[in-house]
Amino acid sequence: MRKLWILLALIAITFSTGSTGYAWPQDNPAGMNAAPEFNLKDIQGKDISSAQFKGKITVISFWATWCYWCRKESAQLNKLYGNYKDKGVEVVGISVDEGGILDVGPFLRVIPMNYKVLLASPSMAMRLGINGLPVTMVVNKDWKIFRYYPGYMDYEVFEKDVLVLSGGSK
How far apart, in whole angstroms, are the C-alpha atoms of residue 19 and residue 17?
5
How far apart, in whole angstroms, are the C-alpha atoms of residue 135 and residue 115?
16
**Domain total of the chain:** 1
Q: Which amino acid is at 133?
A: L
Q: CB-based burial of residue 7 (10 Å sphere; 0-12 exposed, 13-18 middle, 19+ buried)?
A: exposed
pLDDT at 7 over 50: no
Instruction: Evaluate the CA torsion angle 140, 44, 71, 29 in order and state its sign.
Output: negative
Q: Which residues pair with 135 in a beta bridge?
A: 62, 150
Q: Which amino acid is at 20?
A: T
Closest residue by Cα to residue 70 from 36, 37, 100, 94: 94
Calculate ∠ Cα 9-13-14, nearest 5°: 115
119-129 per-position pLDDT tens digit: 999 988 888 88
What 8-state DSSP symbol labels residue 26? B
Give pLDDT, residue 103.
Answer: 97
18-49 per-position pLDDT tens digit: 433 334 445 444 445 889 999 999 999 999 99
- Residue 169 Cα to chain centre, angstroms: 23
pLDDT at 2 over 90: no
Calculate ∠ Cα 121-122-125, nearest 5°: 100
Q: What is the CATH number of the domain that holds 11?
A: 3.40.30.10
Closest residue by Cα to residue 110 from 74, 63, 58, 56: 74
How far apart, in whole angstroms, are the C-alpha atoms of residue 135 and residue 132?
7
Structural domain boundaries enclosing 141: 2-166
